[in-house]
């Protein structure tokens, strides 16, 4: 013991105690549990030293989060939330204690109003604070990532590296999906429409447990990848090979999900891409899109056309999306202005806490609403719905400003990718609670943060501004 206390190295005793604690963990706990705890501690320490470590982890881990729970302890699913809160604490410390500049953003006011309406709805409806906060958290968890990125002070290259890494992760998930297809791994055994699509043997879900979630994630990745492909094709055709191949892999991965909502969302995103970047060639792109549709498997057409069949409409009215929309109108009529409270209807939180609204509406059990607009409207009322639209429109306007201003081909492609993704999400929100899906929401707020940085901290002078400056000095 004397030898330990006499050491003058200031790091020796902390490292010695850390090693001792690690030994105890591995001795008394299962190996994977101990290893996960040590990894979490190491991750937190690295994030304290280099903030980008936490940002990188949140965006690279989220696609495989659900799959990792098959062999890692259950607390692993909370690591990203822990890191988000920890990074927010670091930013707050920098602003309050170190007096670093706080950067207001165009999303600040609509977001503040949205949260304010949510809290007012919670108080007005006497919602249990735990349920209400959980409901707001489910909708807005990755807003923390947005504000962390805005104040992190990281340079472009670190985010460019991150985009490359998460596109590599996307490729890995696609190949894992191909592997599932090859071995015929059973998925969605409880898929309620299986009996109406006997010709579909497997809906691939890769690392995400749900084909629709996986399809939505692939749409986001395709929005970014396609825009990078078109930018590289214009300036460096050799480099365009890589995003071009990845886009094809992602597309076929999406086809194997047989997800109607994801395919239609992709079509909406592609229409937006055409109008954003290739207005002159829209007719040719439409023909190309029709050609792509012609190569889809016949089973996919059966999924698409089944939606229009009387049988589907009858089923949907009994307990599907149309039934839930009818019930949503009834819930909205209960409290049109402030809704029934966050976490009380339509989302995952309402099911976890067994919301009494379902019994009040004479519904047999909790059902996900599969329409984020209606979910916000029922829970937060017309005021909350209006605040959400204000927030979403502000995100799109911010991305549009970035696309128009940025001159660097790479970042202009990322800005165009953000617009493309947001267009797809506009549609997808009609058929899914997409802003609550971690595998999508994380990247939506990431892109929102990048477009803010392009407009402000990374701001370049536009061509018009450079011409005006040159004229002044001529």
For range 218-240, the mean pLDDT: 89
List, in order, residues 6 or more apart from 156 with CB less than 8 Å away.
Answer: 411, 458
SS (H, E, C) the chain: CHHHHHCCCCCHHHHHHHHHHHHHHHHHCCHHHHHHHHHHHHHHHHHHHCHHHHHHHHHHHHHHHHHHCCCCCHHHHHHHHHHHHHHHHHHHHHHHCCCCCCCCCCCHHHHHHHHHHHHHHHHHCCCCHHHHHHHHHHHHCCHHHHHHHHHHCCCHHHHHHHHHHHHHHHHHHHHHHHHHHHHCCCCCCCCCCHHHCCCCCCCCCCCCCCHHHHHHHHHHHHHHHHHHHHHHHHHCCCCCHHHHHHHHHHHHHHHCCCCHHHHHHHHHHHHHHHHHHCHHHHHHHHHHHHHHHHCCCHHHHHHHHHCCCHHHHHHHHHHCHHHHHHHHHHHHHHCCCCCCCCCCCCCHHHHHCCCCHHHHCCCCCCCCCCCHHHHHHHHHHHHHHHHHHHHHHHHHHHHHHHHHHCCCHHHHHHHHHHHHHHHHHHHHCCCCCHHHCHHHHHHHHHHHHHHHHHHCCCCCCCHHHHHHHHHHHC
Residue identified by tokens 């985010």 is 159
Tens digits of residue pLDDT in 73-106: 878 888 888 899 999 999 999 998 888 888 889 9
Query: Residue 419: pLDDT band by 50, 70, 90 thresholds?
Result: very high
Residue that wins the pLDDT comparison between 315 and 262: 262
Tens digits of residue pLDDT in 273-291: 888 887 776 776 677 667 7
Query: Residue 157: pLDDT band by 50, 70, 90 thresholds?
Result: very high
Both tokens of 433, joined, read: 């609670």
Both tokens of 223, joined, read: 């929005």
Q: What local confidence, expressed as pLDDT, does residue 327 receive?
A: 86
For range 105-110, the mean pLDDT: 92
CB-based contact 419:399 (threshold 8 Å): yes
Domain spans in the chain, listed from the N-terminal domain onward: 2-102, 116-311+370-463
Q: What local confidence, expressed as pLDDT, does residue 473 receive?
A: 31
CB-based contact 134:353 (threshold 8 Å): yes
**CA–CA gap between residue 285 and residue 270 (Å, rounded):** 9
Q: What local confidence, expressed as pLDDT, does residue 182 receive?
A: 82
Both tokens of 465, joined, read: 């501004």
Mean pLDDT computed over every residue of the chain: 83
- Does the pLDDT at position 365 exceed 60? yes
For range 242-269, the mean pLDDT: 89
Q: Is the dihedral of CA 288, 293, 296, 298 positive or negative?
A: negative
Tens digits of residue pLDDT in 42-51: 888 899 989 9
Q: What local confidence, expressed as pLDDT, does residue 470 receive?
A: 42
């Amino acid at each position: 013991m004397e030898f330990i206390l006499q050491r003058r190295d200031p790091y020796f005793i902390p490292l010695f105690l850390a090693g001792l604690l690690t030994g105890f963990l591995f001795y008394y706990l299962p190996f994977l549990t101990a290893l996960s705890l040590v990894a979490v501690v190491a991750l937190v320490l690295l994030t304290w030293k280099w903030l980008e470590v936490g940002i990188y982890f949140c965006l690279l881990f989220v696609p495989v989060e659900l799959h990792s729970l098959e062999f890692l302890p259950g607390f692993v699913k909370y690591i990203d939330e822990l890191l988000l809160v920890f990074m927010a604490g670091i930013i707050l410390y920098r602003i309050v204690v170190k007096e670093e500049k706080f950067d207001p953003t165009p999303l600040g006011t609509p977001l503040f109003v949205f949260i304010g309406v949510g809290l007012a709805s919670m108080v007005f409806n006497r919602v249990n604070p735990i349920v209400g906060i959980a409901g707001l958290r489910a909708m807005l968890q990755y807003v923390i990532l947005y504000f962390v990125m805005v104040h992190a002070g990281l340079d472009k290259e670190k985010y460019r590296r991150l985009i490359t890494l998460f596109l590599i992760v996307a490729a890995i998930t696609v190949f894992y999906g191909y592997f599932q297809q090859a071995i015929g791994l059973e998925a969605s055994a409880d898929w309620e429409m299986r009996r109406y699509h006997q010709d579909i043997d497997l809906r691939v879900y890769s690392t995400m447990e749900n084909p629709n979630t996986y399809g939505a994630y692939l749409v986001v990745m395709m929005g970014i990848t396609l825009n990078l492909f078109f930018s590289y094709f214009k300036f460096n055709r050799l480099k365009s090979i890589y995003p071009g191949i990845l886009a094809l892999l992602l597309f076929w991965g999406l086809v194997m999900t047989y997800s109607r909502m994801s395919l239609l969302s992709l079509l909406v995103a592609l229409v937006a891409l055409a109008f954003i970047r290739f207005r002159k060639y829209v007719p040719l792109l439409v023909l190309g899109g029709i050609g792509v549709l012609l190569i889809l498997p016949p089973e996919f057409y059966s999924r698409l056309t089944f939606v229009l069949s009387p049988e589907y409409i009858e089923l949907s009215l009994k307990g599907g999306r149309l039934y839930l929309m009818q019930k949503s109108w009834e819930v909205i009529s209960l409290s049109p202005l402030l809704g029934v409270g966050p976490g009380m209807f339509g989302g995952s939180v309402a099911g976890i806490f067994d919301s009494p609204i379902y019994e009040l509406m004479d519904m047999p059990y909790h059902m996900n609403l599969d329409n984020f607009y209606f979910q916000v409207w029922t829970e937060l009322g017309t005021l909350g719905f209006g605040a959400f639209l204000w927030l979403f429109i502000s995100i799109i306007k911010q991305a549009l400003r970035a696309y128009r201003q940025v001159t660097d081909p790479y970042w202009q492609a990322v800005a165009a990718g953000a617009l493309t993704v947001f267009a797809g999400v506009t549609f997808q929100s009609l058929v899914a609670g997409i802003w609550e899906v971690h595998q999508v929401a994380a990247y939506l707020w990431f892109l929102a943060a990048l477009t803010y940085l392009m407009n402000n901290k990374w701001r370049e002078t536009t061509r018009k501004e450079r011409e005006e400056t040159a004229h002044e000095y001529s």
